[in-house]
Amino acid sequence: MPNGSSIERRLQLSGILLVLALVVEAMSLAWVHPAAFLFFLVAGGVLMAAGILVYLYSLLPAGSSSN
């Protein structure tokens, strides 16, 4: 099993990525332009996907990948 601190570190990393994604989303909404949509889609999308994946990865038990 991963110890508590490694899970906590993953949760923190996930949280930081998701906060960045949400900040990108909020910034993109302040601007009505096709580039704002791209910014939302590319930068926001990548950060959000990464944040959610890190969170979901932190839920996996440690043994599941070694089997």
Partner 1 sequence: MIDPATILFTLIGLAIILIALLVIWPSITATRGGKILAFLALFILPVLCAAVGAAEHLERSKQTHFCLSCHIMEPYGKSLYVDDPTYLAAAHFQNHRVPPDQACYTCHTDYVLYGGFKAKLRGLRHVYVQYLGTLAKPIHLYSPYNNRECLHCHAGARSFEEGAVHNTDPQLLPAVKANKLSCLSGGCHEIAHNVAQVDHVKFWKRPE
Q: Is 37 in the site for partner 1 (CB under 8 A)?
A: yes
Q: Which two tokens stand for residue 62?
A: 């440690």
Q: Which two tokens stand for residue 51?
A: 């944040």
Please state the φ and ψ torsions of residue 14, each to the nearest 5 degrees: -60, -45
Q: Is 50 in the site for partner 1 (CB under 8 A)?
A: no
Return all residues near 54 (Cβ < 8 A) that are at least 6 apart: 10, 13, 14, 17
Tell me which of 1, 3, 22, 43 binds partner 1, using CB under 8 A. Answer: 22
Q: Kindly list the residues in this chain that would bind partner 1 in the complex (CB under 8 A).
A: 4, 7-9, 11-12, 14-16, 18-19, 21-23, 25-26, 28-29, 32-38, 40, 44-45, 48, 51-52, 55-56
